[in-house]
């Protein structure tokens, strides 16, 4: 498969075996989603063929395709044969009078419904929806009434429904909270068909994958084990080949030196054998890897005071719904707090309330991303330390980057004292090529917009980072770079994320939201899990 001069796959032959779970990895632009489309028959290969099982299920990316249907019906549509039989059966039953042919056809359809476990379909679909945090009261609603994140979870339930022989999931953990991700991991570890998934969640891949199919060097190489196993094996194999090449090159240089010295003399037979050996020792050509790793480094311009933030008796409600009730906490310099809990329980509300009371967060930023009028607390106190300077990465980060500017112009406004070369250097660290500095902000992808915001934070050098789901549009290499940068950061961090490894490896303190209850746990995520096991 190629697009113009860009080759994605060249003579790729690979197979996926029932009972095995494959993570499809590779850098952005390597062809992961294209390969999924080839497997699902949404695209046809330009050369070669794909053999598929009869019952193949794909996570739909179109959130609006099922707006006219009930949530429970949308899930059942995941089993196309069953849904078709149910729809035809209902049409026959709606007829005022049935013919003999209708009666015969009904018998056939009831057979299909029985074979496909159709009589328990609604209860099976409800179990999937509950596991993905879609409550019972939404099951009879139309899809059009759901929010975007809820629709994605219904479409995931649709893909999982009906015991497919093969399951293709592109970013299944997007819009899932940590509890739903853990439920999905358990479900997939029990699944007996072929699973192929694209994910930028390292912990998810390590937890479910028996194999990694890595797209790089214009081909697909399958490694046994999870993501970390693949990275280690890939590094070792490349180092081994590079080491062998270095030895061969040294040997070839010695042989060529001998040939140059004696080719005109009396030792022609020895020269001839040396030439043959040079041919035999040809160096293995190493294709260039597509992988590019960004470099993130957050450095505070100046340290904050020891007491960075005091919260006393904070209350926040939306209408009748209490979100934060009587919360009190004291945060010290250098603490890294992960805000955890189901979607919609108040994590972003908490960040917005703290930001609205911060002396250094420009109100324009909150206006663009949250509608800051609703951000202020109802009662209680939020007091920031006088040396606190806050850097903010909003969940809706695309809204913060206004259109009509170049990337360089947008970044430059946050510190007009820096030179163009410094900004180009930052952009280079975040994988923007030199000519991409003049790219218009209007055309940035989600991942590019996120990397531009990280440039802004590195330029501002705040001593407090407030990050609301910063990994949503990042690839694995960028998430790993963010993880390392946050571990090394000397300032204070408030972090909302559903990335297990980020919480596990960065957080020194957990705020766990459960409706209007908020637990303040002073310790790592591992300690927290031990206490709540």
pLDDT at 291 exceeding the cut of 90: no
Tell me which residue of 129, 177, 116 sits closest to 156, measured CA to CA: 129
When pLDDT is cut at 50, 70 and 90, the band that residue 224 belongs to is: very high
pLDDT of residue 52: 94
- Which stretch, 219-228, 330-339, 475-484, has highest mean pLDDT? 330-339
Cα distance between residue 460 and residue 391, in whole Å: 7
Q: What is the pTM of this model?
A: 0.77
**302, 310, 383, 388 from 330: Cα distances, Å:** 21, 5, 10, 14
Mean pLDDT within 3-28: 90
3-state secondary structure at position 185: helix
When pLDDT is cut at 50, 70 and 90, the band that residue 433 belongs to is: confident
When pLDDT is cut at 50, 70 and 90, the band that residue 468 belongs to is: very high
Tokens linked to 207: 């937890």
pLDDT at 455 exceeding the cut of 80: yes
pLDDT of residue 443: 86
Output phi, psi for 497, to 5 deg: -155, 155
pLDDT at 471 exceeding the cut of 80: yes
pLDDT of residue 44: 94
pLDDT at 398 exceeding the cut of 70: yes
Burial of 368 (0-12, 13-18, 19+ CB in 10 A): middle
Write the CB contacts of 12 (distance below 8 Å, at least 6 apart in sequence).
Answer: 48, 219, 220
pLDDT of residue 85: 95
DSSP 461: -
Cα distance between residue 339 and residue 503, in whole Å: 9
Write the CB contacts of 216 (distance below 8 Å, at least 6 apart in sequence).
Answer: 26, 27, 30, 289, 290, 291
Mean pLDDT within 384-398: 87
pLDDT of residue 447: 83
- Give the chain's mean pLDDT: 88
Tokens linked to 84: 């078709």
pLDDT at 328 exceeding the cut of 90: yes
Tokens linked to 230: 């693949």
pLDDT digits (tens, 9 = 90+) for 357-367: 777 665 556 55
**Fold designation for 307-531:** Rossmann fold (3.40.50)
Mean pLDDT within 89-108: 92
Percent of the chain with pLDDT over 90: 59
Q: Choose between 374 and 207: higher pLDDT.
A: 207
Beta bridge partners, 168, equal: 58, 196
pLDDT of residue 368: 56
pLDDT of residue 322: 86
pLDDT at 400 exceeding the cut of 90: no
Q: Which segment of 240-254, 365-379, 449-463, 480-494 scores lowest on mean pLDDT? A: 365-379
Q: What is the CA radius of gyration of the chain?
A: 28
- In the chain, list all ranges with CATH 3.40.50.300: 2-230, 307-531
When pLDDT is cut at 50, 70 and 90, the band that residue 164 belongs to is: very high
Mean pLDDT within 332-358: 90
When pLDDT is cut at 50, 70 and 90, the band that residue 444 belongs to is: confident
Q: Which residue has the tokens 């950061």?
A: 489
Longest alpha-carbon distance in the chain = 106
3-state secondary structure at position 443: helix
Q: Which residue has the tokens 């939306």?
A: 318
Mean pLDDT within 477-491: 94
**18, 188, 295, 376, 458 from 393: Cα distances, Å:** 42, 32, 17, 18, 12
CA atoms within 13 A on the CB side of 492: 23
For the domain with range 2-230, which CATH number is right: 3.40.470.10, 3.90.1150.10, 3.40.50.10090, 3.40.50.300? 3.40.50.300
DSSP H stretches of helix in 95-201: 100-115, 121-131, 148-160, 178-190
Mean pLDDT within 191-211: 94
pLDDT at 516 exceeding the cut of 80: no
Mean pLDDT within 151-159: 92
Q: What is the DSSP string of 198-225?
A: E-S-HHHHHHH-SEEEEEETTEEEEEES
């Amino acid at each position: 498969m190629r697009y113009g001069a860009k080759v994605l796959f060249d003579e790729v032959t690979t197979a996926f075996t029932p009972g095995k779970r494959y993570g499809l990895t590779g850098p952005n632009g390597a062809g992961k989603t294209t390969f999924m489309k080839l497997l699902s028959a949404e695209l046809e290969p330009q050369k070669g063929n794909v053999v598929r099982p009869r019952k193949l299920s794909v996570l739909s990316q179109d959130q609006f395709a099922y707006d006219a249907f009930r949530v429970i019906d949308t899930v059942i549509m995941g089993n196309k044969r069953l849904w078709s039989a149910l729809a035809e059966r209902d049409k026959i039953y709606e007829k005022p009078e049935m013919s003999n042919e209708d009666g015969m056809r009904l018998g056939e359809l009831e057979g299909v419904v029985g074979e496909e476990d159709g009589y328990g379909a609604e209860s099976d679909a409800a179990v999937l929806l509950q596991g993905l945090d879609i409550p019972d009261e939404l099951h009879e609603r139309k899809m059009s009434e759901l929010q975007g994140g809820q629709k994605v979870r219904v479409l995931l339930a649709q893909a999982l429904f009906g015991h497919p022989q093969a399951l293709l999931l592109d970013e299944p953990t997007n819009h899932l909270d940590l509890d739903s991700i853990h439920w999905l991991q358990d479900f997939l570890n029990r699944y007996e068909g072929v699973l192929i998934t694209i994910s930028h969640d390292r912990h998810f891949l390590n937890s479910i994958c028996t194999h990694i199919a890595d797209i790089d060097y214009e081909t697909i190489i399958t490694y046994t084990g999870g993501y970390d196993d693949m990275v280690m094996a890939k590094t070792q194999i490349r180092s081994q080949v590079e080491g062998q090449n270095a030895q061969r090159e040294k040997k070839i240089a010695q042989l060529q030196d001998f040939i140059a010295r004696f080719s005109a003399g009396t030792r022609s037979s020895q020269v001839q054998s040396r030439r043959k050996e040079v041919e035999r020792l040809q160096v293995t050509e190493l294709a260039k890897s597509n992988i590019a790793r960004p470099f993130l480094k957050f450095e505070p311009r100046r340290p904050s005071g020891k007491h960075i933030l005091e919260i006393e008796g904070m209350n926040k409600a939306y209408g009748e719904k209490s979100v934060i009730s009587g919360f009190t906490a004291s945060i010290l310099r250098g603490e890294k707090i992960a805000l955890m809990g189901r979607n919609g329980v108040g994590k972003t509300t908490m960040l917005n309330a703290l930001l609205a009371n911060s002396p250094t967060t420009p109100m324009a930023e909150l206006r663009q991303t949250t509608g800051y009028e609703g951000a202020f607390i109802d009662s209680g106190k939020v007091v920031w330390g006088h040396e606190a300077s806050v850097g903010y990465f909003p969940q809706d980060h695309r809204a913060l980057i206004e259109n009509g500017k170049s990337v360089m112009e947008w970044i430059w406004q946050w510190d007009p004292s820096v030179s163009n070369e410094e900004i180009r250097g930052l952009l280079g660290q975040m994988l923007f090529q030199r000519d991409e500095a003049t790219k218009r902000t209007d055309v940035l992808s989600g991942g590019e917009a996120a990397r531009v915001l990280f440039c802004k934070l590195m330029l501002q050098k705040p001593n407090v980072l407030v990050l609301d789901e910063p990994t949503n549009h990042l690839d694995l290499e960028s998430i790993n770079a963010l993880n390392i940068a946050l571990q090394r950061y000397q300032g204070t961090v408030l972090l909302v994320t559903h990335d297990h490894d980020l919480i596990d490896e960065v957080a020194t303190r957990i705020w766990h939201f459960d409706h209007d209850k908020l637990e303040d746990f002073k310790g790592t995520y591992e300690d927290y899990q031990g206490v709540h096991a």
